[in-house]
C-alpha cells in the first residue's frame, strides 16, 4: 500500500519513509531506537515501519552500517 486511497496519509509507506529520512539526517539509529523515536511522533505499527525501511533500502536511501545501525546512504 504505497499510495492509500482509503486511509490517512500518515499510514502510508511514503509518509513513514519520509519521517525516517528526516530522523536519519541527524544521526544513526539502531532498529528499535529508530522505531521508538518514530512512535513519539506517530503511532506506527512495526510492520508498516519495516515495510518503509525495506522500501528505503530498495531505493538506496538507507542501509545498515558495520556497527549495525541504520544510516542514510551517501
What is the pTM for the complete model shown?
A: 0.86
Burial of 34 per CB tally in 10 Å (0-12, 13-18, 19+): buried
Q: Is 69 helix (H, G, I), strand (E, B) or coil?
A: coil
Residue-wise pLDDT tens digits, 10-32:
888 889 999 999 999 989 999 99
Domain CATH for 27: 1.10.10
Asked whether residue 3 is domain-assigned, the answer is: no
Asked whether residue 1 is domain-assigned, the answer is: no
Q: Is 9 helix (H, G, I), strand (E, B) or coil?
A: helix
The pLDDT assigned to 22 comes to 94
Asked whether residue 4 is domain-assigned, the answer is: no
Residue-wise pLDDT tens digits, 27-66:
999 999 999 999 998 889 999 999 999 999 999 999 999 9
Asked whether residue 39 is domain-assigned, the answer is: yes
Full domain range(s) for residue 15: 9-72
Asked whether residue 26 is domain-assigned, the answer is: yes
The pLDDT assigned to 30 comes to 95
Q: Is the pLDDT of residue 1 over 60?
A: no
Asked whether residue 2 is domain-assigned, the answer is: no
Amino acid at each position: 500500500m504505497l499510495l492509500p486511497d482509503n486511509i490517512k496519509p500518515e499510514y502510508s509507506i511514503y509518509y513513514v519513509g519520509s519521517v525516517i529520512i528526516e530522523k536519519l539526517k541527524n544521526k544513526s539509529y539502531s532498529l528499535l531506537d529508530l522505531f521508538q523515536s518514530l512512535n513519539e511522533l506517530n503511532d506506527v505499527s512495526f510492520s508498516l515501519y519495516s515495510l518503509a525501511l525495506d522500501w528505503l533500502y530498495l531505493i538506496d536511501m538507507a542501509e545498515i552500517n558495520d556497527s549495525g545501525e541504520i544510516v542514510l546512504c551517501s
